[in-house]
Amino acid sequence: MKITGAQAIVKSLEKEGVEIIFGYPGGATLPIYDALLDSKMRHILVRHEQCAAHAADSYARATGKVGVCMATSGPGATNLVTGIANAYMDSIPVVAITGQVPTPVIGTDAFQEADTTGITLPIVKHNYLLKDAGDIPTMFKEAFHIASTGRPGPVLIDVPKDVSQALIDYKYPESLSLPGYKPTYRGHAKQIKQAAKAIVESKKPVIYAGGGVISSGASKELKALAELTQIYVTTTLLGKGAFPETHSLSLGMLGMHGTRYANYAINESDFIVAIGARFDDRVTGKLSEFAKGARIIHIDIDPAEISKSVFAHIPIVGDAKNVLQPLMEAIKKLQEKKEIADRKSWNAQIEEWKRKHPLSYRQGDVIKPEYVVEQIYELTKDRETVITTGVGQNQMWAAQYYKMTKPRTFISSGGLGTMGFGLPAAIGAQFGRPDALVFDIDGDGSFQMVSQDLATAVYNKLPINVAIMNNGYLGMVRQWQELFYKRRYCQVDLAVGTPDFVKLAEAYGAKGLRACHPDEVRPVLEQAIATDGPVVIDFLVEREENVFPMVVPGAPISQMIGGEEE
């Protein structure tokens, strides 16, 4: 029996094990939505297409599965663009399906037409314009394979309306042949042996781990490597959770708002083991001054990242999990021969830095945002918890003061730095991890960009908790204007015109809470956690609190300001 292209799309999604789709319907996708009515897959109606992309992105991060989002042609597709770019920058597996005008009118500026494949070409791993309904089974299998293998990333399929209505004989392929796409998963044996020798001989080594460790499922191997070699570990923002931050060998996050001791250790090291990280500018600071005395092993599945920013003395192309296992075996053989450097003085120096330069703040009569994050951590650290964030100061305070111990539990926009990410990310994470407690640590600026999707949380009865650090400013922009523009504040004051977040939450049918004094922080958090359904907590925090320590833009990461006790 022949079926329509739309039915073939739905069947293909089912074949790939898709359970949830985040989307918003429109004219060009009506055939697909009609076919969805006969499917057991769950469609989540968001209130803005960007939130569909962010929710799919977060669902993928929380579960390790491919996230799926869908929007109609023209403005629906262009509203997905920011979310797709976000997934691309952070290497997240997402399949985006967009409607398109019928093929006879493509290129005529038809109603709600946009060149979606052209627009998204720079921000996807691959994209397709579907021209023949008979290509649907193979195209969808390819899309999911490309999105989830090698270095993960988003793939977009643009579906003209007439193609989704055409009839085809449906058969889903059992296998694929993509001659031009063959990611390298196993590292070169000679390079691994060379890396093992260099690691045991190094006197001041540091492990620098990124989001690639989480993508490859290599967190256990990373912990085993650190404990085997007794090398300290620092992680990127997206690497949080790859290594337990409560571990004695943890240095926390490095970079612009990283810990002083992580930055000092990287700066003074003689050997850096970089795993699944890309030497982002927020990590390296002034590139010419970054770890000048260190040799570098760079383990990454994407050969384009090797030596892109920082020269790799020992490059290893491969999947982190597959590389770390033989690397540890090679190290163990060398350790048996007692071929290992003395690192007592180096380890003592790191411990001294940790004692001398802890993260610190002073809690007075006004709520400090750092205190809020610490209290969220204290109340949730012993249960399954996923933290999502907006972007800005709230994001950095969350990264600094919430100690992650498991992978896929800290979800934040890294490379693109997308304000508004936190709420839809919490929605996606809660669907992916229904048994987990989900907290969105957000800012008043970020939250207002997507607050309409409280409706999505309420409709689906999601027990997400949104903790808003309400300082009445675009906080991070204000901080930069304070520090580098002589406090000439321009267009950063949100105090006038910002809604009453408690009333806003109640208007959507969610619970709204507020804390105005430090003594109220813990009780409102306890009340929120005990509430069945979405909760918005308005924390009135110190208005001009800054995120410290901070590396001044253009400076080496060893040169930080703030964050020290007077």
Question: Concatenated DSSP letters for 354-417?
Answer: HHHS-------SSB-HHHHHHHHHHHHTTS-EEEEE-SSHHHHHHHHHS---STT-EE---SS-
SS3 48: coil
Catalytic annotation present for 476: yes
Q: What is the spatial distance between Cα 525 and Cα 371, in angstroms, rounded to a whole number?
A: 12
Say which of 49, 142, 305, 545 is annotated catalytic.
Answer: 49
Say which of 11, 65, 125, 161 is annotated catalytic.
Answer: 161
Tokens linked to 53: 């992309």
Tokens linked to 266: 């990287």
H-helix or E-strand containing 81?
Answer: helix 75-89
For residue 251, how far is the Cα from the chain centroid? 20
- What count of other Cβ atoms lies within 10 Å of the Cβ of residue 180? 4
In this structure, what are the phi and psi dihedrals at residue 336, rounded to the nearest 5 degrees? -65, -30
Say which of 89, 404, 476, 550 is annotated catalytic.
Answer: 476
SS3 506: helix
Q: What is the spatial distance between Cα 489 and Cα 479, in angstroms, rounded to a whole number?
A: 9
- Buried b / exposed e over 462-480, threshold 16 CB at 10 Å, is bbbbbbbbbbbbbbbbbbe
SS3 511: strand
Q: Are 216 and 355 in contact (CB under 8 A)?
A: no
Say which of 14, 41, 112, 403 is annotated catalytic.
Answer: 112
Only one residue has tokens 């002034």, namely 286
285: Cβ–Cβ under 8 A, 6 or more apart, which residues?
Answer: 255, 256, 551, 554, 555, 556, 557, 559
Distances (CA, A) of 410 to 238, 414, 518: 8, 11, 25
Q: Are 440 and 468 in contact (CB under 8 A)?
A: no
Catalytic annotation present for 349: no
Phi-psi region of 511 (alpha: psi -120 to 50; beta: other; left: phi over 0): beta
Catalytic annotation present for 550: no
Distances (CA, A) of 418 to 14, 50, 51, 235, 332: 31, 11, 11, 20, 43
Only one residue has tokens 């994209």, namely 127
The crossing angle, in degrees rounded to 10, of helices 320-336 and 189-201 is 50
Comparing C-alpha atoms, which of 225, 219, 190 is closest to residue 207?
225
458: Cβ–Cβ under 8 A, 6 or more apart, which residues?
Answer: 508, 509, 510, 533, 534
For residue 534, how far is the Cα from the chain centroid? 22
Q: Are 461 and 444 in contact (CB under 8 A)?
A: no
Tokens linked to 375: 């209290």
Tokens linked to 336: 């048996």
Q: What residues act catalytically?
A: 49, 111-112, 161, 476
